Amino acid sequence: MTRIILAALALACAVSAVHAPEVVTTVPAAAVILPYGDWLIAAANLFTAVIVPVLGGFLIQAVTKIYPWAALFLTQKRMEPMAKAVTEYAVSAAPGAVKEGKLSIPVGSAVIAKAIQYAVDAATKKALAAAGGPAGLAKFIVRTPNLVDEANVLAPAIAALPKK
């Protein structure tokens, strides 16, 4: 809002310079004097009355088209660190899981189930809803550990979740 007020003040200063008293000088007989002050005021009025609202409409339309993509990008950037943190917890909590090695199907399913359960217990409802619930969070978490066969690990992990 302050920027708009400052821009209006700058425009008023520029327009007032046009209406300032002119310095009288002798003009040769061949010179043509053009009254550009009236044209400038008419152009400024046209700009503020027509062009500014149209540009504002285009700006609002652009923001409404970009917002869902930006929200998706920011949600994914928040979910990936959370998925990594809960997976690290689950790897250290699951028996038989090692951080550096590949996880087999039973161990990988246990790690993913513990990670999802820990995220459901620790995360806020808003963060969990942004991830798409426990099943959506599972899609983030399944990419984090080093699994032997991802396709066969996710289904048993989601089936092992307690129903609420």
Task: Write out the chain's pLDDT in tens, 164 residues.
Answer: 677 776 776 766 665 555 555 555 665 667 667 677 888 888 888 888 888 888 889 999 988 888 877 777 777 777 778 888 887 888 777 777 767 666 776 777 788 888 888 888 888 888 788 778 888 887 777 776 666 655 566 667 677 776 65
Measured distance CA(112)–CA(134) in Å, rounded: 11
pTM of the model: 0.47
Decide: 110 and 71 in contact? Cβ < 8 Å: no
For residue 20, the model assigns a pLDDT of 53
Please tell me the chain's helix, strand, coil percentages from 3-state DSSP, rounded to the nearest 5. 75, 0, 25
pLDDT for the residue 121: 85
User: What share of the chain in percent tops pLDDT 90?
Assistant: 1
